[in-house]
Amino acid sequence: MSWRGIIEEFREHLPVRPETPVITLLEGNTPLIPAPKLSKQLGRDIQVFLKYEGLNPTGSFKDRGMTMAMSVALEKGAHTVLCASTGNTSAAAAAYATRANLRCVVLLPENKISKGKLAQALMYGAKAVAIQGNFDDALRLVRELGSEPGFAVVNSINPDRIQGQKTGSFEIINTLGRAPDAHYLPVGNAGNITAYWLGYQEFHQLGKATTLPKMVGFQASGSAPIVRGHPIEHPETVATAIRIGNPASWDGATAAIRDSGGLVDEVTDAEILSAQRWLAAQEGVFVEPASAAGIAGLFKQLCSGQLPSILAEGATVVVTVTGHGLKDPDTAIENSPGMVSCWARREDVLRLIST
Ligand code: F0G
């Protein structure tokens, strides 16, 4: 049978009722791609897999949470869904709201949304509002507006979002036949690390995996509140998806890291961009800057000599690469070697490519 989307595939593990209307774009079932060159770089027989969430219907992992949040919002009789977003949540909310025939309002930090994501929110028909402030300001507004009659908040402060996103762990365990030894991922508002840990714990309790992975999260240095231990008032990073100073799921992230024996650390913008380029050029997997934070983290730990204390010989590592590279073409082009130009003559092209 062909894939039916995460609600039908994992119905018994999700808080849906038989009468819940299922709003789906057949999200999930994303590939777990082996990364042989990355594995070789790390050495010691470590095996790395990429959970390529950019292949979801709107190009990021947010679709997993949105199918749940939108289905429940519709069931509860909402007429408007509302979210703050650094871009991907708004794209997913807008698409799923369209499927549900609900009005969608997205609050976006002005001028800090990548072009691909903005294009999506606009094309799917959301009411997009540019907020003169950052994501944290927008989320504060959403909390205030959420109590308006008929409004449903579809940020990850909505527990249905976390429930949907935990299915990433289910798919990984189903594919590997076990849990990985470590799971690396970027951390912004911290919903995803919370969700993955929930998913791993649930399948562990059900006996579908006998072990649990260490959860290893990476924030961008200019937006690293959890690493620093306090909110960041003016977060900055080229990885706009994780430009967040006061994560809503801070406690969930802390619990995941502590209870799994994992860790949280930071990577610089330069490390993020170089990991993004490396992954595209070496493994053929193009992700947006934020999505490369986990890869940048692995390289950082390799270079600092920290890796052996985290990953044993022969360890299996999954890195969630959260969003598609085409989400942010401007940053990609700015940080690539660029094109060369020449006359439309065979010998000119041959001369150029030989150097
Ligand atoms: N990677 C991408 C591509 C994201 O869009 C986000 C978050 C994250 C990682 C971090 O995940 O917030 O669960 O820790 N994007 C949100 C948004 C904030 O509005 O699209 P998180």
Please identify which residue in the block is written with the tokens 């042989």. 36
**Mean per-residue pLDDT, 28-42:** 98
Angle between helices 250-260 and 191-205 (to 10 degrees): 50
User: What average pLDDT is seen over the chain?
Assistant: 97
Ligand 1 pocket, residue 54 CB under 6 Å: no
With a CB cutoff of 8 Å and minimum separation 6, the contacts of 178 are 209, 210, 211, 316
Closest alpha carbon to 165 in 181, 138, 140, 189 = 189
Tell me, what amino acid is at 171?
A: E
β-strand partners of 318: 49, 183
Measured in angstroms, how far is the CA atom of residue 305 from the centroid of ligand 1? 29
The pLDDT tens digits for 84-93 are 999 999 999 9
Ligand 1 pocket, residue 50 CB under 6 Å: no
The secondary structure of 70-98 as a DSSP string is HHHHHHTT-SEEEEE-SSHHHHHHHHHHH
State residue 1's pLDDT score: 85
Nearest alpha carbon, ligand 1 atom 11: 188
**Mean per-residue pLDDT, 216-225:** 98
pLDDT band at 355 (very low <50, low <70, confident <90, very high): confident
pLDDT band at 160 (very low <50, low <70, confident <90, very high): very high
Ligand 1 pocket, residue 186 CB under 6 Å: yes
Q: Are 20 and 75 in contact (CB under 8 A)?
A: yes
Tell me, what amino acid is at 257?
A: I
The pLDDT tens digits for 98-141 are 999 999 999 999 999 999 999 999 999 999 999 999 999 999 99
- N residues, the chain: 355
**Mean per-residue pLDDT, 45-51:** 98
**Mean per-residue pLDDT, 150-174:** 98
Chain centroid offset of residue 354 CA: 39
Tokens found for residue 324 = 């598609």
The pLDDT tens digits for 263-297 are 999 999 999 999 999 999 999 999 999 999 999 99
In this predicted structure, the answer to whether residue 68 has a pLDDT above a threshold of 90 is: yes
pLDDT band at 338 (very low <50, low <70, confident <90, very high): confident
State residue 105's pLDDT score: 98
Q: Distance (Å, rounded) from C-alpha 60 to C-alpha 226?
A: 23
Entry pTM: 0.97
In this predicted structure, the answer to whether residue 62 has a pLDDT above a threshold of 80 is: yes
Ligand 1 pocket, residue 60 CB under 6 Å: yes
Q: Distance (Å, rounded) from C-alpha 342 to C-alpha 125?
A: 42
Residue environment code for 116-128, b if the CB has 16+ CB neighbours within 10 A, otherwise e: bbbebbeebebeb
**Mean per-residue pLDDT, 180-187:** 98
From start to end of 197-300, where are the E strands?
214-220, 263-267
